[in-house]
Structure 1
Amino acid sequence: MDRLAAMTAFARVAETGSFSEAARRLRSSKSVVSRQVAALETDLGVRLLHRSTRALTLTEAGHGYFDQIVRILAEIDEANLSVSHLQAAPRGRLRVNAPMSFGIRHLAPAIPDFLTRCPEVEIDITLNDRFVDLVDEGFDMAVRIGHLIDSSLVARRLAPLRRIVCASPAYLAARGLPTTPDEISGHECLCYSNMSAGNEWKFTTPDGRPWPVEVKGRLRVNNGDALRVAALEGLGLACLPTFIVGEDLRAGTLVPVLAEAVHQEGGVFAVYPHARHLSPKVRAFIDYLVERFGPNPPWDRAAP
């Protein structure tokens, strides 16, 4: 038995929950992958997978073994990269995680040009707004928005993050234009529920002191694009990044409110697990995103 091949086969089955999908990713056959995993279980003397007609799940032993071999396989890949021509040639499958709105609006349109530049790279993108564990879930890198928490991940800034409070002209005509942050609390506000502080909007006084305002409203949503739609329909004020509403501000379908007072922090970042030899495919993709977005990203060029 080729133990390394068997470990790799098991890792792909564990990641995908499917012998067929694991075989596709390994460019092998389902029967070969199944035999490799069975041989590994026999050699270890323990069952790693629960098999049924409906699903594959990891046993308790399988979970523990998977956690160990993910790190081992990553170290082997790193060792190979450090001495191979792959250091200069981006290739292979790149697994990327990104937030839904940013991924659809800005990451997806960037992919075709990158794949043209790097014809030996294939990209597997997962879009969601939850916080993923890159190592445990097998991602090479992620795009993250806002203020980064301390972690073992390496971060590189792709672009600044600019937030703005805005509303439709119809809403402001009916309810009036707030002239100070405190007046915001008397308005119908559209709240982002994916943040623990979604009911507090941050502003800054003219002399630079924090000016937090508690907001309330009848609508809470865990997605920025859904809040944008509600704002366009005149349901209230929304505090959103310009990468979502930049074009609306330019078109006048949304109007900025207290733009100079909104507190700005954080950014758009690429994050990846620490490695002594950064994979060429990851390095190439991050360099490309920095080049495409940069300090004056296209969504801010569209905004007034």
Structure 2
Amino acid sequence: MDLLALADFTLVARHGGFGRAARAAKRPKATLSRRVGELEASLGVRLFERGSHALKLTEEGRALYARTESLLTELDEATSAVASGGDVPRGRLRVSAPLLFSQMALGKIAAQFVLRHPQVQLEITTEDRAVDMVEEGYDLVIRVNPKVDERLVGRVLLRDRLVVVAHPELKLPAGNEAVPAVVRPANDGTAWELATPRGDRRVSITPVLKLASLIMIRDATRAGVGAALLPYSLVASDLQTGGLVAWGDAKGSPIEIWALYPSRRLLSARVSAFLEYLKASFPTGLAEELAAIGAA
């Protein structure tokens, strides 16, 4: 495959048209059009839908662009690093991370990272679904308790745990009566299995409020609506000040937060730098470190 034609295709896809790509690269529009046409002919597929007023990637074009953009960027970084005699992190860095972790920590971490590495254009999107980082063009993903994926490797950033908490005025019943609970909409459980200082026990619950956000659930629990099952890192400061009390740890509910990247790809300088900064932000990997960043 012609690497130069592939680079021209990526240039056109990035700028959304032959004219804009030609102006950005200061190259003839006809040359770009010809080379992309030759690439399509060699692959036997159409990469662009050419309308009278718009140029759109086909499904095959989107799939190719998702793979080539990051690879060509890494190639450009490698040659620039060799030419400059160093390996300075630079270029676009796309990261996908879960909502709660992002809200608690990533705003502060991202700000300090770009101050340290001003040549990196960092972009963080927050969503709890397991994105396909290869198909969707992410350099790094942060996931909670990820499923095994042979395409990805990574490291554990930190470990957390789930605790049942309540307002101090709401007491853990001595008997089997159900307690009011604040839960997520998808929760259809009727009890929590807890490890308490007095031993294991089962606590029956009656959901009285369903909220999509864990931060919303914590706020409702602070108001005394009911008990809730929440990450320790999210409620650590409330437990320290007495705003909430812990009834016990949920049994069998470890939380591991991982940073993952494609196993077949050599790490670029920007990804390596961000991984090292994440590791430095959580040196012991304990929930208390996430709680401290969230409370700062």
Give the structure-1-normalised TM-score: 0.73
Name the structure 2 match of 1:124.
123
Name the structure 1 match of 2:100.
101
Partner secondary structure for residue 116 of structure 1? helix
How many residue pairs get aligned? The number is: 279
Measured in 2, the distance between the counterparts of 1:216 and 1:160 equals 29
Mapping of residues 53-202 of structure 1, within 5 Å: 58=57, 62-77=58-73, 85=81, 88-145=87-144, 147-151=145-149, 152-170=151-169, 172=170, 176-178=171-173, 183=176, 186-193=178-185, 201=192
Q: Pick one of 224, 233, 237 that aligns with 2:214.
A: 224
Residue 301 and residue 123 in structure 1: after superposition, are their counterparts in 2 closer, same or farther (change >3 A)?
closer
Q: Pick one of 3, 7, 28 that aligns with 2:9.
A: 7
**Residues 183-202 of structure 1: per-residue CA shift (max 9 Å, x gap):** 5x8122222346x8877745
Partner secondary structure for residue 163 of structure 1? strand
Deviation (angstroms), 1:179: 5.5
Deviation (angstroms), 1:264: 3.9
Gaps of 5+ in 1: none
Residue 93 and residue 76 in structure 1: after superposition, are their counterparts in 2 closer, same or farther (change >3 A)?
closer
Does the 8 A contact of 2:178 with 2:203 survive in 1?
A: no
Partner secondary structure for residue 252 of structure 2? coil
Gaps of 5+ in 2: none
Residue 262 and residue 33 in structure 1: after superposition, are their counterparts in 2 closer, same or farther (change >3 A)?
farther
Does the 8 A contact of 1:9 with 1:36 survive in 2?
A: no
Q: Pick one of 270, 274, 289 that aligns with 1:298.
A: 289
Partner secondary structure for residue 207 of structure 2? coil
Higher strand proportion (structure 1 or 2): 2
Partner secondary structure for residue 158 of structure 1? strand
Residue 203 and residue 35 in structure 1: after superposition, are their counterparts in 2 closer, same or farther (change >3 A)?
farther
Identity among equivalent positions (%) equals 29
**Residues 142-169 of structure 1: per-residue CA shift (max 9 Å, x gap):** 1112x22111211211111122111122
Mapping of residues 10-29 of structure 1, within 5 Å: 10-12=12-14, 29=24
Does the 8 A contact of 1:95 with 1:125 survive in 2?
A: yes
Deviation (angstroms), 1:292: 0.8
Does the 8 A contact of 1:41 with 1:48 survive in 2?
A: no
RMSD: 4.1
Residue 63 and residue 262 in structure 1: after superposition, are their counterparts in 2 closer, same or farther (change >3 A)?
same
Residue 28 and residue 252 in structure 1: after superposition, are their counterparts in 2 closer, same or farther (change >3 A)?
farther
Does the 8 A contact of 2:22 with 2:32 survive in 1?
A: no
Does the 8 A contact of 2:166 with 2:228 survive in 1?
A: yes
